[in-house]
Each structure stands twice: as structure tokens, then as C-alpha cells.
Amino acid sequence: MSRLIIVGMLLLATFVPSGGAAIAPLQPRSLDGSGNNQRHDDWGSAGTQYVRVAAPNYADGISKEVAGPPTRWVSNRIFNDVGQNLFSENDVSQWGWAWGQFIDHDIGLRDERAAESTPIAYDRNDPLESFDDTLGAIDFSRTPAATGTGVSSPRQQINSLSSYIDGSNVYGVTDSRLEWLRNGPVDGRLSNNKPTLMLTSDGYLPRVDARGDPSAAPPMDLMGALQGTPARAAVAGDVRANENIALTAIQTLFAREHNRIVAALPRSIPDELKFQLARRVVGAEEQYITYNEFLPAMGVSLRSYRGYDPGVNAGISNEFAVVGYRLHSAVHGELEPTVSAGTFTDAQLKAFTDEGVTVEQDGGDVTLVIPLAVMFGNPDLLEAVGEGPVLKALASEREYKNDEQIDNSMRSVLFQVPKPGIPNPAVCGEPLVNPDCFTGISDLGAIDVERGRDHGMPSYNQLRRAFGLRPARSFTDITGESTDRLPQGARGTNPINDPHILDFVELRDANGNVIPLGSPDAQEDAVVGTRKSTLAARLRAVYGSVDRLDAFVGMVSEKHVLGTEFGELQLAMWKQQFSALRDGDRFFYANDPSLRAIEQAYGISYRHTLAELIALDSGATTQAGVFTAPE
């Protein structure tokens, strides 16, 4: 008997609370998203093509990438932050980027099977290059073409996940991954699974060797130190759960939340029904937090909900996945959990220091300053620091400004490994993005631009038109600056190749006060930075014409709409996609009578803020609104 039939028999049956009246039947939500839309069974389901908002833009109309300036060369001139941090002007905490990534891993993952390697060029002679790429190129692979495309019709790409916000990052989209994650035997018979998810004795995600044979565990992406210690990888519903300890902590939080809900259900109901009830609530909690906390904090205001619309395709658009939902600029370069003195032993503190963590003691508190490079691919560190301190730390400090600047930890070294003879980045000292430490370069900014060309993204102005916006007429029209002229360089040189054009000449805080360059406040309070050259001038020198501008570059260069973290284009893209994810989901929390039935029958509600879930499942106490950093 298939899993779907088993689930359907259990959930479509009327269920009765102890001593109460019968509750309406509960319809199942499929793992892979299929059947959500009863008119279009495959809308939003795993393994289907990304939706297109605009016509694909390939050089040959079919598959060839459009030409443009080399993307690492673009990155050095546009994305390079030269070590100067700028912070969210709306005080969005680090939960902004962290929750954004968690939801990203619930709604989209490009198919990476049989990817075509097309490395990004690296020029060691570029005057603005400050890192040494001993590999000679930046690793990049084109997304495989969807079957039947890219030969006589435009190349399309596959989303391997369910597009719905449904907790697939917790449970996966296949029976085999879910069976491994649930307690009970792995024998292909889901009917004998327990209702709980497997966790370690102290409440962390299981490792790949939790059931004995690591090779039999669901595949997980390996990065950083995990490439050398693959048996230490944690397993979750999404393959990317080990990317950084913040993400691993959120994955852990919702696995714990699932088990908490199961424990609150009556023992008398069947295990499969317990599992599905808890899964239904967890998915609704993700939606509730996304629409009531995350989006408002980011400045995204949607029209009032009018109920489920079966004519809306909730599938993720190619444009949103490849351009609009990339928040790499907002990712903070470090995380700073603070605990009471005595929480860690001297041996533990030394181990943190040896790993590259800076230990700061201030009276009765100890703060661990954890660089992003150390957070990367390091689930052991999460367990050493603790679930609660990591989740609380995300709420305590602002994320970086969502602009064209990308921290060098992601623009150059995050995905790389230390050079031979260097056991870990800690021995290199500060900053941990020291180019002498690493064997290669991986530039997420350059990759973002290259991915746009790979997927046939429209140009910046074409994309603005597709989202109902007026095309930009000039580079200053995009940035809101007064000039697009570069300062004069040294005689006989092209000023776009002068490293000093990136120098900051003034910094201001959120209240408009000038911050002295090089001061401690310059690294903590700066929201606005003025450089020797305007962004508009560098865009003009790199692209020449607004109509040749890559969509991602133009989007992140836009002046922000007041009260939001976005320029016009990115804001329009978020509104369109998150409206579709809400309106086109038959099981959206505000449309799902089963959630009301669950609360009536068992007293279990999905209406929890993120702060409440953090307290319930980790014991940590944060401010009520975790998406806004405290003063």
C-alpha cells in the first residue's frame, strides 16, 4: 500500500478528541507539493520548471549566455566592500538574512545533476584584485537544461523542491529522506515509522552515521571542514542544512518543534496521524512567521488576503530565484553569542580560540565573536556553543545593509579551504579574510551575476518592464546619486582601474550623524557610506549603457524605497512572489480549516511568534520582535 493511500486513510477519516465531538476530516498535504492545486496537479511541485515572468534572454535565443563584462571584474568594482561595514537602515536583525535563507531552502533548489562546468575567469593582474586565486579560475557550473529544452526551444531549469512554504526543509520532499529522518526502522515501510523526528540525546540534528552506515544516509552538501570529515555532517530535510551554524540552528529548532507538538498530542491517536498533525502545524508556523514578522520587518507590505485562488500558480519564478531572492549583501560577517561567565570551561574557551573564535570577557559575560568563515560547514560548533545562544545572537545585532556591497568573507573566501600548512584560518589572525590564508576564490557576487546569464535572465531594464516598472534612463536614475562621472585617475590610466575609487570619504549613522573614518563606531554604526567615486559612475564605466546592465547588478544598486530593505525592482519581485505563495496555496494557514480543527481538538496552535518558538524549543529568551535588533 502506498504512503499516500496510508496517509489519506488516516487523515481523511474523521478524528475525534477525547470526550469531544467529531472534527471535520483532515486532508493531507503531499510531501512534494503535487496535488495542492486540484486543477493543475503539478503547479508548485518538486521536479517542475521554474515559472517565467519574462521571456528568457539568451544570446542565440535558445541556450547561449549573453555577453557581458567578466563577472569577477564587475565584482571587484561594484560589490567590493573594502572592509567597511554598512548596516540595515531599518535595524533589521541578523534574523533577516537567516530566516530568508531558511525559507529559501523550503521553496527552491535548482537541479544540479550533470551540471556543465564553465569556470569564471580570474585575472591576477586586475589592479583591484586583492586575493590570490591559485586555482586560476572561480568554480562555476551551468544549471542543467530541463528535459526537452535548450535545443530547439529556450533553455529552462528545474526546481527540485516544492515551491510551497510547507516545511520541506524540515521533512524533505521524498519518502526515502523522510523515512530516514523519522524514528523507527528504515525498511521501506513507512507504516511502522514513529511520529517523532530523530534527534541526538541532547536535541541536535542526527549525523550521517546515526543509523550506522553513513553512505546509506540521505545526501547532504559538504562544505568547508566537512569536506574532510563528511561523517560529521548533520542530516535534515534540505541538503544545505550545514551551510552555517545559524541555518543549522534554525533547522534544529523546527525539528525540536515538531517533536514538541507530537508530545502534546494524545497517546491514543495513531502515530501517522500524530506525525501529519505536527507537520501541518510546523508548516503553518513557518508561514505565520514569514507573513506576520519577516516580511513586515523587511518592509514588504502585501494587499489584504482574499482567500485561496486556484488560478494563481504558486511556483517559484526563475527571476525571483536567480535575481530577486538573493540577499548575500545582508549577511553579517560574524555572529556574537553572549553567555554568562562560567558557561564554558577554560578548555572549551581555548578550543574556541584555536578554531578562530575570538573570546571577549566583559564582567559577568563572555561573548564569542564567530567569523562567518568559521561558522561555515561546522555543525560541531553549534553543539559546542549551544542552540539557545546562537538563536539569541541572531536577534541581538543588525544585519548588513541590503545593497551592492558584499562582505569579503563571501566575495572571496567562504567556500575555500586554508592553504597547505595552515590548519585553520585562526592562525592567519585578523581579518580572517586574509588572502594569504586560502587556496582559491569563490565569489558569490560574481556567481550571482553569472547565474543570471546562465538562466537567461532579462537585462535590468527588461526585468523592470516585466514587473510593471518604468525603465531607468540613466545610472543616476538607478542609484539616486548626483553624478555618474568618475574622478580623474593618474595620468594615462583608466580611473575604473584605480583602487582608490573605492575609498570611503564619509560615513553616517541612521540619524545622519557623521562617523569618523577608522573609528570603532565606523564598524558598528555606519548606515550610509560615501566613496571617492559614486556607484553610478562605476556602473557607467563597467557597463557603458543602462540597457546592458545585468539584472542582479542593477537591482542591488537601486536606491531603497523608504522604510524597506529594497529598491523598487527587488521590492516588486518580493511582493509578486510572496503573494503567489500565499494566494496559490490551498493549505495556507489563513485558509486551512484543519488548523482550527487541530486547535479545537488538541489545544495546539500555529500562532507563535519566532521569539516564542525560540523560548519553547531552546529555552533562550529574546526580545519579542526578533527581526528588529535592540538599540
| Interval 59-79 mean pLDDT | 97
Question: What is the C-alpha separation between 64 and 69, in angstroms, rounded?
Answer: 16
Residue type, 192: N
Q: How far is CA 289 from CA 97, 286, 330, in A?
A: 14, 5, 19
Report d(CA 134, CA 122) in Å as an integer. Answer: 10
b/e per residue 364-396 (b: at least 16 CB within 10 A): eebbbebbbbbbbbbbbbbbbbbbbbbbbbbbb
Asked if residue 116 has pLDDT above 90, the reply is no
Cis peptide before 230 (omega within 30 of 0): no
The span from the CA of 236 to the CA of 226, in Å, is: 15
Rounded to an integer, what distance in angstroms lies between the CA atom of residue 57 and that of residue 59?
7
What is the average pLDDT across 428-438? 50
User: Of 442, 517, 498, 486, nearest to 139 (Cα)?
Assistant: 442
The C-alpha atoms of residue 79 and residue 404 are separated, in whole angstroms, by 5
Q: Which of 220, 14, 12, 256 is nearest to 105 (CA)?
A: 220
Buried b or exposed e, range 142-159, using 16+ CB within 10 angstroms:
bbbbbeebbeeebbbbbb
DSSP state letter for 67:
P
pLDDT at 417: 52
In the prediction, which pLDDT does 20 show? 45
In sequence order, the 6+-apart residues with CB closer than 8 A to the CB of 363 are 341
Provide the residue ranges of all domains of the chain, joining segments of one domain with +: 1-330+401-412+429-459+550-631, 491-527
pLDDT score for 559 = 98
pLDDT for 11: 47
φ/ψ of residue 296, rounded to 5: -60, -40
Q: Which segments of 162-244 does DSSP mark as H helices, in order?
A: 168-171, 175-181
Q: Which residues contact 269 (CB under 8 A, 6 or more apart)?
A: 15, 277
Does position 273 have pLDDT exceeding 90, yes or no?
A: yes
Indicate if the alpha-carbon torsion angle 211, 215, 216, 219 is positive or negative.
Answer: positive
For residues 136 and 440, give the distance between their C-alpha atoms in angstroms, rounded to a whole number: 8
Average pLDDT over residues 509-520: 94
**Which of the 8 DSSP states describes residue 111?**
-
pLDDT score recorded for residue 428:
53
Query: How many Cβ atoms are within 10 Å of 483's Cβ, its own excluded?
Result: 13
From residue 339, alpha-carbon distances to 83, 330, 359, 383, 629 in Å are: 28, 25, 11, 14, 18
Tell me what the pLDDT averaged over the chain comes to: 91
Angle of the 271-289 helix axis to the 245-264 helix axis, nearest 10: 130
Q: Tell me: the pLDDT tens digits for 554-579?
A: 999 999 999 999 999 999 999 999 99
Give the residue-averaged pLDDT of 210-227: 91
Q: What confidence tens digit (pLDDT) does each residue in 474-487 have?
A: 999 999 999 999 99
Between CA 202 and CA 347 the distance in angstroms is 21
Dihedral (CA of 602, 606, 608, 610) sign = positive
The kind and range of the H/E element at 301 are none
- CA-to-CA separations, 467 to 311, 544, 574, in angstroms, rounded: 19, 24, 11
Q: Over range 580-586, report the average pLDDT.
A: 98
Query: What is the rounded average pLDDT of the residues 149-162?
Result: 97
Q: What is the pLDDT of residues 373-429, one digit of tens each?
A: 899 999 999 999 999 999 999 999 999 999 999 998 888 865 555 555 554 554 454
Report whether pLDDT(181) > 70. yes
Question: What residue type is 359 in one-letter code?
Answer: V
Q: Tell me the mean pLDDT in the region 173-195.
A: 94
Q: Are 176 and 147 in contact (CB under 8 A)?
A: no
**What is the pLDDT, as a whole number, of residue 436?**
58
User: Is 283 in a helix, a strand, or coil?
Assistant: helix
In percent, the amount of the chain with pLDDT more than 90 equals 83
- Does the pLDDT value for residue 125 go beyond 60? yes
CA 51, CA 36: separation in Å to the nearest integer?
A: 16
Q: What whole-number distance in Å separates Cα of residue 546 and Cα of residue 461?
A: 8
Judge contact between 389 and 337, C-beta under 8 A: yes
State the Cα–Cα distance between residues 111 and 161, nearest whole angstrom.
Answer: 9
What's the pTM? 0.94
Torsion angles phi and psi, residue 87, rounded to 5 = -110, 165
Q: Is the dihedral of CA 80, 85, 86, 92 positive or negative?
A: positive
The mean pLDDT value for 107-115 works out to 87
Instruction: Output the pLDDT for position 227.
Output: 81
Decide: 461 and 446 in contact? Cβ < 8 Å.
no
**Topology of the domain comprising 1-330+401-412+429-459+550-631:** Myeloperoxidase, subunit C (1.10.640)
Q: Would you call 90 helix, strand, or coil by DSSP?
A: coil
- Among 75-84, 156-165, 354-363, 482-491, name the one with the lowest average pLDDT: 482-491
Cβ contact 462:554 at 8 Å: no
Q: Are 52 and 319 in contact (CB under 8 A)?
A: yes
Q: How many C-beta atoms surround the C-beta of residue 186 within 10 A?
A: 15
Amino acid identity of residue 614, one-letter, is: I
The grid coordinates listed for 590 are 489563513
